[in-house]
Structure 1
C-alpha cells in the first residue's frame, strides 16, 4: 500500500521556511581550537596513564556541510483532553541535515565526526511555546544530543564573544579542587598554530583573533544560541552513563554560532561561520569543560 507524501517545497519556500537558519546552508571549511580533559587510567597509547586525567589541546581543521532536508516534516497535533472541541493543529518543521568532521591540523588525526539536523520549529499553543531552533546530533562515542534555543540578528551587525571559563568544577559540589586538577590546564603547551597565551583560560580569544582583519567590515551577523540545559538533553550508552560508573560521560552541551557577512572595501561580500561550544564531561566527580571553537569560510 502506497503512502501519499506532500510534494517537496520549492527552493524559495525552503529558504522562507528555514528562517534565520537559511544562511547556514552550504559547505564551510576552516580552522579552530579544541580543549579537552580526558580520563587517563589506561596506559595504552594514545592514553598515557595510569593517572587520573590528561589535558589535550589541538589546533583543528574542520569541514561542515549542511543542506536542506528537502521535504515538509509534519509534527502531529492532537485534540485537547481538557477541552475536546479544541486542540493543537499540526505544525510543519523545516531544517538542514549536517555532517561535521574535525581533524588535528598538523597530524591529520581524526578528532570528531557528527551528523544530525538543525530544525526551525514554529510556535505552538499546546504546549505554549515560542518559535525556536533545534540541533540534534549523533556522535559515534555512543552519545546523542538535542539542544534548543533561539536565532536572532546581532543589533550592531557584529558578534559578541562571552568569556569562556575552562576551569573544572566538582560535581556533586564538595571541597574545592586541589592544584593537581587545576595546574595542568595552566601549564599545558599550546599548539604552535595557537599563538594567544590566553587561549586555554578563555578559548573565545581564538575567535576574536581570527576575525580581526574583517571585523570593521562586518555588516550583519545572525546568532544561533542553543543549550541542552533549557530543553533537550544528552543520551549515552551504558559505558558512558556516570550514574553507574566513573567513565567520561557527556552530560550537557551549550553552543553559539555566528553567521557573519563581510563587505570589503573592494570586491564581493562573503560570509564567515564561527562557533563556540562547551560539552560538559563528568568523571572523577568533576565537570570538565570540553571547549571547541572554530572560524569557517563558505566554500
Structure 2
C-alpha cells in the first residue's frame, strides 16, 4: 500500500494514488478496455433549437460516444498525501483528509476521435471526528469532548470543479466486499415527458446525424461496466457512492454560473465507484465508475426539461 504511513486508519482512497487510464483488460480480446476499444460510454443531451440538416427539430440533440481518459490522483512528490484540513466545531473537530485529482477525457469514436472533450479537477474527502485542540496552534491540550462519531452515511465527499461553470459537492459512504460486485443496469436515459425520444432510439444514419452511435449502450450505459467486470473477474472490491440528493445526515449541493442556470442547469449528481481486486484485496488495480448528472435544459425556449447525462468507464492503474 503506497505511502501507508500518511493515511489515517480505515482510509478508503489509498489505492487511488497514482495515474490511471484505459488499458486492455485481462481475459479480453481486440484491445477491450484500451483506448481504441474502451469499455465506456457517455450519454449527453444538448439543447438545440435549430434542426440538423434533413432532421426533425426535436429541440435537443445527443452527443453520445465512447471515450478514454487519464486521471491523476496526487502523489507525495506534488502534495502531501492526503492533505488534512481540520474543521473546528467549537468543542470537537472534523478532520477532512483530501486526495486531489485531475481528469482529462478524449473521444474514442466519431468525427472528433482523440480530441479532448472534458476536463475537471477536484478532491475526494474522507471525514472523521476528533478532539479539538485548545488555542490556535495546538499547544494547550484538547477540549474535554465528548466527540460524536462521524455519521456513516456522509463519511466521504467528492468536490468537483467543471470548467463549464459547475461546482458540485456530493456526499456518501464506503463499503467493502468479497467476490465480484453486481453492477446494476442504468435506468434507460430517455427524453422527459413532453418531448420526442426519437434521438435516443434512432440508429446513426448519416454523417450529419452523429448523435447515437451505439443505441444498445444508450439503453444501458452500465453494460460497458458489466462487460469489464466479466473480463477482470475480481474477487474483492471497495464500493463507494456519493450523491447531492438528501441523505439522513446531510445533503450535498450544486452551483452553476448564470448562463448554465438559464440553459443547462445541473440540478443533481450521483456516482458509484468500484475499486476491483484480483488478489483478494491486496491491490486494487482496476477502477470502474458510473455517474449521472441531472440537467434542466431549456428546450424551444421553455426551461425545466430534466435530462440525465450518464458517463461510465473502467480504467487501469499504471
Contact preservation (8 Å) 2:48, 2:61: yes
Distance 2:21 2:124 in 1: 18
Distance 1:294 1:144 in 2: 22
In the alignment, which residue of structure 2 is the partner of 1:255?
A: 271
* Alignment partner of 1:298 is 2:317: yes
Call closer, same or farther: CA 1:280–1:66 in 2, change over 3 Å.
same
Q: Using structure 1 for the length normalisation, give the TM-score.
A: 0.77
In the alignment, which residue of structure 1 is the partner of 2:183?
A: 161
Distance 1:149 1:162 in 2: 18
Distance 1:15 1:219 in 2: 24
* Alignment partner of 1:184 is 2:184: no
Unpaired runs of 5+ residues, structure 2, are: 23-37, 131-146
In the alignment, which residue of structure 1 is the partner of 2:134?
A: none
CA displacement, residues 110-153 of structure 1 (integer Å, 9 cap, x when unaligned): 11111010010015867973361110010000100000100110
Call closer, same or farther: CA 1:137–1:17 in 2, change over 3 Å.
farther
Distance 1:119 1:240 in 2: 26
Aligned positions, number: 260
Unpaired runs of 5+ residues, structure 1, are: 1-9, 79-87, 171-175
TM-superposed CA distance for 1:109, in Å, is 2.1
In the alignment, which residue of structure 1 is the partner of 2:25?
A: none
CA displacement, residues 33-83 of structure 1 (integer Å, 9 cap, x when unaligned): 1111111136899xx9975100111110111111255233111111xxxxx
In the alignment, which residue of structure 2 is the partner of 1:72?
A: 84
CA displacement, residues 195-244 of structure 1 (integer Å, 9 cap, x when unaligned): 976311111111111232222xx221000100011221110001111xxx
In the alignment, which residue of structure 2 is the partner of 1:274?
A: 288
Counterpart of 1:229 in 2: which secondary structure?
coil
Counterpart of 1:208 in 2: which secondary structure?
helix
CA RMSD of the aligned region, Å?
3.1
User: Structure 2 residue aligned with 1:236, among 250, 253, 256?
Assistant: 256
TM-superposed CA distance for 1:90, in Å, is 1.7
Counterpart of 2:259 in 1: which secondary structure?
helix
Contact preservation (8 Å) 1:26, 1:66: yes
**1:201-216 matches, cutoff 5 A:** 201-215=219-233
Q: Using structure 2 for the length normalisation, give the TM-score.
A: 0.73
User: Structure 2 residue aligned with 1:52, among 39, 59, 64?
Assistant: 59
Contact preservation (8 Å) 1:40, 1:52: yes
Call closer, same or farther: CA 1:220–1:270 in 2, change over 3 Å.
same
Structure with more of its chain in strand, by fraction: 1
Runs of 4+ residues deviating >4 angstroms: 42-45, 48-51, 123-128, 194-197
Contact preservation (8 Å) 1:59, 1:104: yes
Counterpart of 1:295 in 2: which secondary structure?
strand
In the alignment, which residue of structure 2 is the partner of 1:173?
A: none
* Alignment partner of 1:38 is 2:38: no
Call closer, same or farther: CA 1:184–1:67 in 2, change over 3 Å.
same
Distance 2:86 2:15 in 1: 23
Contact preservation (8 Å) 1:196, 1:206: no
Contact preservation (8 Å) 2:64, 2:213: no
In the alignment, which residue of structure 2 is the partner of 1:20?
A: 12
Distance 1:115 1:251 in 2: 19
Distance 1:13 1:57 in 2: 43
